[in-house]
Amino acid sequence: MKEVIDAESLLYIYNVQHRELFLRNVLVLGRPGFDSRWIVIVNFGKSAPTSVPEQMKSIWLPSFLTRPPL
């Protein structure tokens, strides 16, 4: 469990919000008989940056005026 929390904390350090951190998206890799194991978080399909720099908002998040058709 500690490894999963450490992995999620690392995502926050790099400003990544996973949005789907479920058991099915966490792989535990290791060899039987050894204490070392690796945690791999997969499925970043719905992930997003937690903060967008102001100078990049116009590039990453273009705004469009939308209204219903008349």
pTM: 0.59
- Look up residue 9 and give its amino acid: S
Residue 65: what pLDDT? 56
Its domain, for residue 11, covers 2-60
In a domain, 9, yes or no: yes
Contact 20, 46 (CB under 8 A): yes
In a domain, 35, yes or no: yes
In a domain, 65, yes or no: no
pLDDT truncated to tens, each residue of the chain (70 aa)? Answer: 888 889 888 888 888 888 888 999 999 898 888 888 888 999 988 888 877 666 666 666 556 556 666 6
In a domain, 67, yes or no: no
Distance CA 68, CA 52 (A): 29
- How many domains are contained in the chain? 1
